[in-house]
Structure 1
Amino acid sequence: MTILVTGATGNIGRQVVEHLNKRGADVRALARDPSKANFPDGVSVVQGDFLDVDSLRNAMSGVSTLFLLNAVVPDEFTQALIALNVARSAGIERIVYLSVIHADVYVNVPHFAGKFSVERMIEQMDFKATILRPAYFIQNDLTIKDVITGYGVYPMPVGDKGLAMIDVRDIAEIAALELLRREQASEPLPLNRINLVGPETLTGTDIAAIWSDVLARQINYGGGDTQAFERNLKQFMPAWMAYDMRMMGERFLTDGMLPGAGDVERLTQLLGRPLRQYRDFASETVASA
C-alpha cells in the first residue's frame, strides 16, 4: 500500500519522504511542480495542489495512509478541509496530521485556530489519525541568525515562561515512524495526539546565553516588544502573516509553550535516542557560516 506525503518539497515533508523511503515504504510525494522535485530513487512524485480537487483525487487514488501538512497561508483551513474530504472519498482512513502544540489554548492566533479546527474535523469525520502537535521549530531561528551575529541580540519574543523548542529533524523522523505504525497495523488504530517538544524548556535569556557561549561573545535577549517584532517581520513577509506571528509571540510571553508530563520521555523512547538540543543547532549554524 501507499503513503502519500503532502508538503513533500518543504523542509519537514522532504525529510519525511526520505525517512519512509529508507525504511522501504511505498511513498508518493505530492508536488505542485514535479519537474522541480528531487527525491530519492523509488519515490513516486505526483502533481497536485490543495485547491485543485481533481489533482488531489488523482494523487490520493490507491493511497492507504496520508501525511497531511499545510503551510501557513490565508486559506489553510479550506485547503485542509478539501484534502480531508477527498481523502474520505478515496477511502483513506489512516492519517498523520501536523498541527501545533497548544492549538486549543492559543485561540486568538490565526494559524493555531485554523489547525485546531482541522483537528476537530478529523475527529468529527472519524478518521483514524495521529495528530502531531509540535512546539516552536528550532530552525525558525535561522531567519534571525544575522541579527544575532550582526547586532548581538536575540530578538524573538520568547519571554520568561519558556518554549520547548524542537528540531525539525526530530519532527520529521517521528512523523515517519507514526506513518509506518499506522500503515503497518492490521486494523486502523484509534486517534491519538502527541506533543512534539524538545528536551529543554528555554526562556529568551536562556537562548541568548547559549548563543553567547557558542559565539564566545555577549548576546543579549531583546525580544519582549511584540509591536517592534511585527514591524520587523513586515519587511520580508505579508502583513497578515507578520500580525499572526505577533499574536503568537504575545502568547509566548503570557503562556509559554510548555511540554506535558512525560512528553520528553515518550519521544525519547519513540526515537530510541535523545532529542536534539538547541545548543546543537546553534553550534551547527555557526560552524556552517
Structure 2
Amino acid sequence: MTILVTGASGTVGRSLVTQLLAAGHGVRALSRDPERAALPAGAEVVRGDITDAAGLARVLDGVEAAHLITFGGDGYEALENGPEIVAALRTAGVGRVSVLGGWDTSTLEPALDAAGVPWALLSPVEFMANTLDHAEAIRAGGEVRVYDGGRTSAAVHEADIAAVALAVLTGAAPTGRRYMLTGGEAVTLEQKLAAVSEALGRPVTLTRLSEDQARADLAVAGLPPEAVEFTIALENDPPPVGSIPVDTVREVTGRPPRTFAEWARDHVDAFRAHAPV
C-alpha cells in the first residue's frame, strides 16, 4: 500500500518513513523542501505543506493511508484548515489516518470525526528528542545551564511513536482511539544528561540556574514572556501525566519501549563537537 507521511523530515516522520519502507510499503513523503529532506532512498519525496489543502489534494492520488500532523508553518501553529484537509482525504478515498497530536486540539481532529474518517490520535507525553535543545551547549563544552526543578519525564523515543503510527496505518492497531505514548521509565534531566555523557564518553554537566537567572537567559534567547513563564511553571508544577509510564507501546508493538539510554546512543552524533549546526 502507498502511505502519505506529512512532517516527513521531522523526528517522528523520518522514523516512520524508514519503518514503512522496511516493512515493504510505498511511501510518499511530504516536504516543504524536498531537496534538503535527505529522506531514505525508496521514499517518493514530494513538495507540499499540510497548511495548503489544495496542494495536499494533488499528492493524494493512489494513497491508501495517511499520517498527519496537527501543526504547520515556520511557527508550528495549530492547523486552521482541518475541514479542507479532510475533504481532500475523502475525495482521494484515504482509508486510514494516524494523527500526531499536540498539546491542544486543532481543527483537524473534529473534522475527521465529523466526516467519519477512520483515524487514531497519537499523544506523546514528551519527546526524548526534546533533549536536542541542549545539543549546542553540549557540543560547545558539555555544560547545560537551565532552571531544573527536578521533575521526571516519561518521554518516548520517536521510533516508538512511529511504530505505533505504522500499526495504525497498516491495520495492525485499531482506529477510533487515542494512544497515549510514553517511555517505560520516568527520568530526570540529570539522568538524561548522564545517558548522553555515557554515549559520548565525556562529561556532560548540569548547572542549575535560579528562576531569575533562567528568566534572563530565556529572554535573551528570544522567548516571549508568556513562553518564559510557561517554561518555569512547567518545572515547578509539572502535570502528573508526564511522569507516569503507560504500556501502550508494548501493547501495540509487542515489545517494550526504547529506553532513554538507547535514544542517547541513537543520537550521539548530534552531541559531538563536529556535528553540523
TM bin, normalised by shorter chain, reads 0.7 to 0.9
Structure 1 residue 247, shift from structure 2 partner: 2.4
Matched, 1:220 2:206: yes
- Could you list the per-position Cα deviations for residues 162-202 of structure 1 after superposition, in whole angstroms to 9, with x for gaps in the alignment? 211112222222222221226xx9xxx54111111111112
CA spacing shift, 1:204–1:76, aligned 2, 3 Å: same
Quote the Cα distance in structure 1 between the aligned partners of 2:128 and 2:245: 21
TM-score of the two chains, using structure 2 as the length reference: 0.76
| From 233, 255, 266, the counterpart of 1:250 | 233
Aligned residue in 2 for 1:17: 17
Residue in 1 aligned with 2:87?
A: 85
Residue 230 (1) aligns with residue 218 (2): yes
Shift of 1:151: 6.0
Report the AA paired with residue 21 of structure 1.
L
Residues 133 and 56 of structure 1: CA distance in aligned 2, closer, same or farther (over 3 Å) = same
1:131 aligns with 2:121: yes
- In 2, the alpha carbon distance for the partners of 1:54 and 1:219 equals 49
* Residue matched to 1:279: 261
Q: Provide the residue aligned with 1:202 in structure 2.
A: 187
Alignment coverage as a number of residue pairs: 265
In 2, Cα distance between equivalents of 1:218 and 1:21: 36
Say if 2:138 is the partner of 1:152.
no
Letter matched to residue 17 of structure 1:
V
TM (norm. structure 1) is 0.74
Q: Report the 3-state secondary structure (helix = DSSP H, G, I; strand = E; otherwise coil) of the residue aligned with 1:21.
A: helix
Contact kept, 8 Å, 1:29 with 1:43, in 2: the verdict is yes
Shift of 1:95: 0.8
Does the 8 A contact of 1:56 with 1:83 survive in 2? Answer: yes
Partner amino acid, structure 2, of 1:15? S
Rate the CA distance shift 1:207–1:40 in 2: closer, same or farther, 3 A.
closer
User: Are 2:30 and 2:48, in contact at CA under 8 Å, matched by a contact in 1?
Assistant: yes
8 Å Cα contact 1:31/1:37 also seen in 2? yes
Match of 1:63, SS state, is coil
1:119 to 88, 94, 109: 109
What amino acid sits opposite 1:86 in the alignment?
A
Q: What is the aligned-residue identity percentage?
A: 26
Superposition RMSD in Å: 3.5
Match of 1:107 in 2: none
Q: Which runs of 5+ in 1 are unaligned?
A: 101-111
Contact 2:50 2:72 in 1 (8 A): no
